[in-house]
Amino acid sequence: MRDLSLHILDIAENSITAGAKKIVIRIAEDEEKDVYSISVEDDGPGMDDKMRSKVEDPFFTTNGKKKFGLGLPLLKQAALECDGQFNVRSGTGEGTTIFASFKRSHIDRKPLGDIGSTMLALICGHPQTRYILFYEKDGFRYGFDTDALTESLEGMPVNIPEVLMSIRNSINESVGGRDRSKPAAGVPDCANRQKEMKRNRRKSVE
Amino acid sequence: MPKLSVDDLKRIKEQYESTFNLRQGGYRAKVTVHMGTCGIAAGARAVMNSLVEELAKTTARDVIVTAAGCGGICSKEPMATVEILGAAPVKYVHLDAEKIKRIFREHIEQGNIVEEYALVVGKETSY
């Protein structure tokens, strides 16, 4: 996965497969505490303790066709690599919440990426589910709710291309513009360093 | 709340109503984009976005785009299955944003299967 919005899409797809009717996605960025966190909460059937303890295992899956399930392990790995935390809260009949946090300034912390496209793919693929998105950054708050949107659509389905595209664009305008996270100061500029090393090598050959 | 303006919605609604009659007959074509972990990592989201953009450009309102889980052939992701009413479903593999546009134009709009990108025609399940 190249960015966090792809992880979010992946985890939300799990919720839908499990039978969730409502999915709440939370993205929070705290510059002061240096934390970047994402969570996906659903109202699906939830998992018992036995299953909950297995989902972080890459060789566990509920899909009978294959022998592995990498979605959660990949997110866990991404979070732990960035000095973050990962946890799965769930209980039978209580829904499931997947939480992952990252050290915001960590050089390996993936950017949020195209969250608007993620929402487009979710709504287009499963329009009957209700999606709520919260984005929070240092006092700025943004919220999106497909139920509120349905009201203003006056009977028009939410999954027609024009509506989907304006949802994507308005989310990206509001959220994407604020997520200009760069590596922290003092982190070496890798691309330029590689070029420099190449140049030096060429010089020494000559 | 989303910054979708009322004007935007009105405009979309007018467009939608003008093409509504075309929808009455139900859906003629269904495209399923496989969105398992493997598909997403390989670029299924871009494929779906590209398809929606292409759909918005036309007045074809009888095409439904939906998502499914892992198709069982992770190494050939991103994949999509195109089902035209009355014809056998076609599974396309190794897609990207440009390939799906061509499939939309040639297969969904004109009914010619894009053999170059197709893996299999007809129902097949991999276990």
Provide the pLDDT confidence category of residue A86 given band limits of 50, 70 and 90. very high
Of A154, A161, A173, the CB nearest to B52: A161
Tell me the shortest Cα–Cα distance from B106 to chain A, in angstroms.
19
Mutation site, A65, A131, A151, interface B, largest B CB count within 10 A = A65
Say whether A69 and B74 touch across the interface (CB within 8 A): no
Tell me the shortest Cα–Cα distance from B116 to chain A, in angstroms.
26
Provide the pLDDT confidence category of residue A191 given band limits of 50, 70 and 90. low
User: Distance between CA atoms of A34 and A131, rounded to whole angstroms?
Assistant: 27
Give the residue, A164 or B71, on which the prediction is more confident: A164
Contact A29, A179 (CB under 8 A): yes
Nearest to A65 by CA among B125, B15, B14, B97: B125
What share of chain B in percent tops pLDDT 70? 85
Tell me the shortest Cα–Cα distance from A181 to chain B, in angstroms.
22
Question: Is this prediction's ipTM beyond 0.90?
Answer: no
Residue showing tokens 């979605």 = A71
**Model confidence over B11-53: pLDDT tens digits?**
777 777 666 544 445 788 899 999 999 999 999 999 999 999 9
pTM: 0.84
Question: CB-based contact (8 Å) between A178 and chain B?
Answer: no
Task: Kindly list the residues from chain B whose CB atom is less than 8 angstroms away from the CB atom of residue A173.
Answer: 3
Say whether A124 and B48 touch across the interface (CB within 8 A): yes
List domains and CATH numbers for chain B.
Answer: 23-121 (3.40.30.10)
Q: Residue A24: which residues within 8 A CB-CB, separation 6 or more?
A: A40, A41, A42, A132, A133, A134
Question: CB-based contact (8 Å) between A17 and chain B?
Answer: yes
Stretch A177-194: mean pLDDT: 53
What's the confidence (pLDDT) of residue A66?
79
Distance (Å) of CA B6 to CA A132, A157, A161, B64, B102:
20, 16, 17, 26, 34
Planar angle of CA A40, A42, A46, nearest 5 degrees: 115
What's the confidence (pLDDT) of residue B16?
72
Q: What's the token pair of residue B32?
A: 């399923």
What's the confidence (pLDDT) of residue B71?
80
Task: Domain A4-205: give its CATH architecture.
Answer: 2-Layer Sandwich (3.30)
**Model confidence over A99-126: pLDDT tens digits?**
999 999 999 999 998 999 999 999 999 9
B residues 32..71 contacting A (CB < 8 A): 33, 35-38, 40-41, 44-46, 48-49, 52-53, 55-56, 61, 65-70
**Model confidence over A48-66: pLDDT tens digits?**
988 888 888 888 888 877 7
Provide the pLDDT confidence category of residue A193 given band limits of 50, 70 and 90. low
What's the confidence (pLDDT) of residue B22?
47
DSSP letter string over chain B?
Answer: -----HHHHHHHHHHHHHTHHHHTT--SEEEEEE-SHHHHHHTHHHHHHHHHHHHHHS---SEEEEEES--S-GGG-S-EEEEETTS--EEE-S--HHHHHHHIIIIIIT----TTTEEEES-----
Stretch A178-191: mean pLDDT: 50
Question: CB-based contact (8 Å) between A154 and chain B?
Answer: yes
